[in-house]
Amino acid sequence: MPSFLPRHPSLLAILALASEGVELRAAPAPYVPDAHTLHLWHLDEVKPPFTDSAENSVPLWGLLNGAKAGRPSLKGFANSVSFNAHNGGIPGNSDLHGAILAVAPVLAVGSADNVNPGFRYFGPDGAFTYEMVIRLDILPGEAKQIALGLVSMDADGADRIFNFRIEKEGYLAFFPLPHGGAMGGGVATIPTTGPHAVDTKSWFHIAVTYDGNGGVRNNLKLYWTCLGTDATEANCIGSGALSNDFNGNTGDFAIGNEARGFAGNAEAEPFPGCIDEVRMSGVARHPSDFFFVDPERRTSPEQVAHAVDGIARKSAFELMLAGVYVDTKEVSPEQKARGVLQLGSGLHRLDFDFGYHVDQAGGDVKLRCQLEGVDERWRETDQGMTLVCQALDADDKVLSQSRFAAVGHSAGWETSLEESVMTRRSEPVFIPSGARKLKISLASGSPATTGFYAIDNFELRSPPPRQATFPAGNAVALSLPSRG
């Protein structure tokens, strides 16, 4: 009997694998607005206006300075917008009229091109998520422009709110601006190795989230994820902090650049590539709650809220003051009984130990503290040893703070300092406008912390001179070969 080969062996192989239980993932699809979506621009149109699919719709009318619609996008996402163009000026200077997509059909000096006062860019508790997908035509370090704009609400008067962009040095950065009511920000190094390494071929999902808990360490997170890697969560590359929520003021909202134009200054930060699927949410999205994760694996804001509520009910516990120490000596029970601690003149070190019953906590519990008269806002307690960089104004008020923890031991650590190998560590530090001093502190941790931390060849490198005039502040590289 004659035999016949199957005409579609690859199809048969797929069916066979599926029958054996191999999971076949659905292709990513564009977002559908949910209750937490403030704005959603698919950017599929070939000319303005670009529709906002959210309930409080704000269409984009200003495709300006050479920005081009109808460009190819990620598979299944129709079109994108290219910003790799300009309409006069010198790349690298502030007079560059770079490509931009704005709310207003024409940019103006003054408030004529501002979004309406009711424009929503955070949720009821101040939280937000700003995200998009991008593809670079050139690497950040090879770009000629000042920086690579993503999403901003900047302006030319007292209406500067925030800027989300890529720095030429290879940082993803989010900066609150002077009139938004918040201070701080976040800067993170974009990966150059591994599955999420930056390149000019892949599409990347990028996002910034803020959880609405002003003044708490790591309340702002930055994500950079290469699409097509079957990621089940967004790839977090760093964190930062906002001192408090935005105040609701508005300015010139734009995608792919900043809309900040006045004499000698134009739209100087065009993104050298394509941008698509821009979504703004009124919550800090969970790392799994993005379109490239299978819908059944996503953690919705409602699920997050339910989990937090459950932990709050389960973790009702009594926080106790376990010990008070003055100059490393514990305060006696008689002094505690009096309720007032009296110290002699001079400088003293005070340590407070707090504790709780772990079985009452129901899981991981983080403590925040605030010393009245010293701390302006609540801060989380730190584990291990920390190097703290504070940017101060002329009156020694803290404008921003970065903490770099040291827990465990570094590679090459031996029994003695002389035999150990120094490990280089480089971190970005945000220096906001108005900063006049930089305070560096090395904290040895709680009394329970053991070991020591050595630093050598401490360096603070500023960005290239062309960025020195950035009104939003700068990211500087902190390099510290250390052992610990």
Q: Does 289 share its domain with 351?
A: no
% of the chain surpassing 70 pLDDT: 79
- Stretch among 24-28, 78-82, 135-139, 301-305 having the lowest mean pLDDT: 24-28
Q: Does 252 share its domain with 320?
A: no
Q: Does 209 share its domain with 351?
A: no
Describe the strand order of the beta sheet including 398-406 as a list of residue ranges: 398-406, 385-392, 437-443
Residue 475 lies in a domain: yes
CATH of residue 180: 2.60.120.200
Residue 6 lies in a domain: no
Structural domain span for residue 354: 315-364
Question: Phi/psi zone of residue 408: left (φ > 0), alpha (ψ -120 to 50 degrees), beta?
Answer: left
Q: Which amino acid is at 144?
A: K
| Confidence label for 372 from pLDDT (cuts 50, 70 and 90) | confident
The reply to whether the predicted model has a pTM over 0.85 is no
pLDDT above 90: residue 50: yes
pLDDT at 110: 84
Q: Does 257 share its domain with 208?
A: yes
Q: Does 358 share its domain with 456?
A: no
Please count the structural domains in the chain.
Answer: 3
Q: Does 226 share its domain with 327?
A: no
Q: What is the dihedral of CA 42, 43, 48, 51, to 10 degrees?
A: 10
Smallest CA-to-CA distance from 133 within 29, 55, 58 is with 29
Q: Does 198 share its domain with 320?
A: no
pLDDT above 90: residue 368: no
pLDDT in tens, 230-286: 889 999 998 888 889 999 999 999 999 999 888 888 999 999 999 999 999 999 999
Domain endpoint, select from 268, 290, 310: 310
Q: Does 179 share its domain with 327?
A: no
Q: Which has the higher per-residue pLDDT, 393 or 321?
A: 393
pLDDT at 448: 56
Q: Which amino acid is at 43?
A: L
Q: Does 218 share its domain with 357?
A: no
Reduce the secondary structure of the chain to three states and give it as a string: CCCCCCCCHHHHHHHHHHHCCCCCCCCCCCCCCCCCEEEEECCCCCCCCECECCCCCCCECEEECCCEEEEECCCCCCEEEECCCECCCCCCCCCCCECEEECCCCCCCCHHHCCCCCCCCCCCCCCEEEEEEEEECCCHHHCCCCEEEEEEEECCCCCCCEEEEEECCCEEEEEECCCCCCCEEEEEECCCCCCCCCCCCCCEEEEEEECCCCCCCCCEEEEEEECCCCCCCCCEEEEEEECCCCCCCCCEEEECCCCCCECCECCCCCCCEEEEEEEEECCCCCCCCCCCCCHHHCCCHHHHHHHHHHHHHHCCCCCEEEEEEECCEECCHHHHHHCCCCCCCCCCCEEEEEECCHHHHCCCCCCEECCCCCCCCCEECCCCEEEEEEEECCCCCEEEEEEEEECCCCCCCCCCCCCCCCECCEEEEEECCCCCEEEEEEECCCCCCCCCCEECCCEEECCCHHHCCCCCCEEEEEECCEEC
- Residues 433 and 471: beta-carbon distance below 8 Å: yes
Note the Cα 385 to chain centre separation in Å: 24
Q: Does 348 share its domain with 225?
A: no
Residue 241 lies in a domain: yes
Q: Does 282 share its domain with 398?
A: no
pLDDT at 150: 98
Q: Which has the higher per-residue pLDDT, 91 or 341?
A: 91
Average confidence (pLDDT) over 167-190 = 91
Residue 11 lies in a domain: no
Average confidence (pLDDT) over 50-69 = 97
pLDDT in tens, 255-266: 999 998 888 889
- Residues 99 and 67: beta-carbon distance below 8 Å: yes
Q: Does 233 share its domain with 325?
A: no
| Confidence label for 171 from pLDDT (cuts 50, 70 and 90) | very high
pLDDT above 60: residue 15: no
Q: Which has the higher per-residue pLDDT, 315 or 56?
A: 56
